[in-house]
Amino acid sequence: MVNSVIYATKKGSAEIYAKAFAQKKNYPIYEHKQVLSEDLIDAEKIYYFASVYAGSLLGIEELKKKVPKNSQLTILPVGLSSANDHEKLAEIREGIVKVFPQAKIIHLRGRLNKEQLKLPEKLIIKMISKSSRKKSEQEKLDIEKAIEQVDTTGSVDYLDLAELVNID
């Protein structure tokens, strides 16, 4: 039996975490679109690092078709929400549990650079930021503060590879 790492990313944060983790553990690593069911047939544990977009995990439905039923699955959503964003994290967790009820879930924070965004994504950032600015600082979620920062400064970076130490 082997352990495997899979990642799904659009802007790179999940890939950075996944590659660092796979290298540290000496596990094979796959991009979610390239991994085949056959690649995972002997996997005892599978670690899935995936970007969060609008509260959903990138590639989770495709993963369901590829993961063997007997594998232990750890899902690592990577987004801008912090541990303080309880409702947002609960929404993400709920979406994961619908697909993988037995998965262990560990949230990680990523980064976002406005230059990487396409026009529709930039408009969404602008809208969320504008809405967030109407709230008091105490009312804002950490994700809203991060999006405001992306809108005003162009980027935010919460990547913390030291977090990988806590993953077994």
Write the pLDDT tens digit of every residue in 20-67.
999 999 999 999 999 999 999 989 999 999 999 888 999 999 999 999
What domains sit in the chain, N to C, each tagged with a CATH number? 2-111+157-166 (3.40.50.360)
Q: How confident is the model at residue 168 (pLDDT cuts 50, 70, 90)?
A: confident
Over range 103-119, report the average pLDDT: 94
**What local confidence, expressed as pLDDT, does residue 33 receive?**
93
On whether the CB atoms of residues 112 and 129 are closer than 8 A, the answer is no
For the chain, counts of helices (H) and of strands (E): 6, 9
* Residue among 159, 12, 124, 84 at smallest CA distance from 150: 124
Instruction: Show the tokens assigned to 98.
Output: 């619908």
Over range 110-118, report the average pLDDT: 93
* Residue among 89, 90, 81 at smallest CA distance from 147: 81
On whether the CB atoms of residues 95 and 150 are closer than 8 A, the answer is no
Q: How confident is the model at residue 1 (pLDDT cuts 50, 70, 90)?
A: low
Q: The pTM is what?
A: 0.93
